Amino acid sequence: MDGRIMKWGLMLLLCIPFWTACNNDDVPEAAIEPQKDCEVSVSIRLNAKSLRAMGDPGEEVDEFDSQYWTRIDIFLVYSWGQVLQYTLDKDYKSGEMRKFTAFAGVVKAVYAVAYNDEVLVGHNFAPYSEQDILNLQTPSITSLDAADEKKYLLSLFSGMTDKTKEGQPIEVVKEGTTEIKVGLDRLAAKVDVQWDAQDAYEGDKYVEAKMSDITFRGTSQGYFFPGEKAVAEPALDHEDAYRMNSPISERNGRTYFYTFSGAKNYFNFVVKHRVAETPDEKETFYTATFANALERSSWHKVNLTVSGTTFEETTKELNLTQKRQRTING
């Protein structure tokens, strides 16, 4: 019995050193990290032309203030797939050149996104690959009130380039500084609704007319690079409303809705009319649906005109349907 124990013990001692030596031979050498010993100079410019296209050129609608965004993330994607990320804060002025350290090598593309990380705290981005960048989505805006929702939507910009400012492929080298310029465009689309309701005679009857509530259906999230992805049309899971709060606004007025691109948005509204010398008021419910998905940085002007019980909508891009009508007893 003791002999067998000694025999097995000896075999075990002989095997342990042999296995350990083989295992050490298979350990690869530590990967050598490339050094960020080069310099790049990056300039980010917000596309002012797209801003002006967002609204009526003759009216200030407070869309151009750079205070809406508080952070810009810049992503350098190298030809071997690695992503370098830089961040600019709200003190950055559009068009300034900022210098960063970088790896030497060919840069496939440079992406940048701007947003407000003070309205929705903790929603920063750290993608590890180019596909992660193309998949970047905003957080949901459902928790925001109307003022913060507008501020957040107007803070959202994105853009990319794969060329230097001279139009050449981007290559970071140790000799000199590689200069890169990236233009950013707004993500949101704008729907500009204006209405005019007038009393009218229909036959010998005098008809009072007015507009009532408008509710707009949009999406609660959007992609930062919607043109780079083939995605299904998003669900219209978010609602904004405008309530007429005075006799003047029931007759004529104007309001704006901001939304993410990529969906055939629609809005509901109500037209009220009362025939003179009758106590009852009739409400007619309409839905106006855009024929095509709204694009980023686009402005869509909608004019609604009511004369008595006659209704007119002059926008060619809308499909208008009457949903129902009801009588309110006076």
CATH number at residue 93: 2.60.40.2580
Q: Contact at 8 Å (CB) between 258 and 189?
A: yes
Whether residue 232 lies inside any domain: the answer is yes
Determine how many CB atoms are found less than 10 A away from the CB of residue 39.
16
Is there a single domain that holds both residue 141 and residue 98? yes
* pLDDT at 203 (0 to 100): 81
pLDDT at position 8 is: 37
- Does one domain contain both 257 and 302? yes
Tokens describing residue 86: 């830089």
Are residues 141 and 170 both part of a single domain? yes
pLDDT of residue 4: 47
What pLDDT does residue 231 have? 64
In order of 236, 257, 314, the CA distances from 217 in angstroms are 6, 9, 20
Do 290 and 267 form a contact (C-beta atoms < 8 A)? no
| pLDDT tens by residue, 143-163 | 999 999 999 999 999 999 998
Q: Angle 302-257-63 (CA atoms, 0-180°, nearest 5)?
A: 105
- Among 165, 186, 207, the domain boundary falls at 186
- In-domain check, residue 103: yes
Q: Are residues 100 and 202 in the same domain?
A: no
Q: Quote the percentage of the chain above a pLDDT of 90.
A: 55
Percent of the chain past pLDDT 70, that is, above it, reads: 82
Q: What is residue 328's predicted lDDT score, i.e. its pLDDT?
A: 79
Task: Kindly state whether residue 16 falls inside one of the protein's structural domains.
Answer: no
pLDDT score recorded for residue 212: 87
Among the three residues 156, 186, 216, which one is the final residue of a domain in this structure?
186
Q: Which residues of the chain have pLDDT under 50?
A: 1-25, 27-31, 57-61
Report if residue 221 sits inside a domain: yes
- Domain presence at residue 42: yes
278 found inside a domain: yes
Residue 9 domain-assigned? no
Q: What angle do CA 269, 316, 323 make, to 5 degrees?
A: 30
Q: How many domains does the chain have?
A: 2
207's CB contacts (< 8 A; 6+ apart) are 199, 200, 201, 273, 274, 275, 276, 308, 309
Domain that holds residue 219: 189-328
- Position 114 scores a pLDDT of 94
Query: Same domain for 138 and 248?
Result: no
Q: Is residue 32 part of a domain?
A: no
We report the CATH number of the domain holding residue 287 as 2.60.40
Judge if 200 and 170 occupy the same domain. Answer: no
Cα–Cα distance measured from residue 204 to residue 195, given in angstroms and rounded to the nearest whole number:
26
Residue type, 276: A
Residue 42 shares a structural domain with residue 176: yes
**Residue 308 · residue 276 · CB < 8 Å:** no
Answer yes or no: do 84 and 158 share one domain: yes
Last residue of a domain, one of 133, 168, 186: 186
Asked if 43 and 65 sit in the same domain, the reply is yes
**161 and 215 co-located in one domain:** no
Say whether both 257 and 276 belong to one domain.
yes
The pLDDT tens digits of the residues spanning 75-124 come to 999 999 999 999 999 899 888 999 999 999 999 999 999 999 999 887 78
Question: Nearest-CA neighbor of 222 among 319, 295, 326?
Answer: 295
What pLDDT, in 10s, does the model give residues 7-29?
Answer: 434 343 334 343 333 344 454 44
Q: Contact 208/72 with Cβ under 8 angstroms?
A: no
Instruction: Tell whether 52 and 98 lie within a shared domain.
Output: yes
Model pLDDT, residue 314: 75
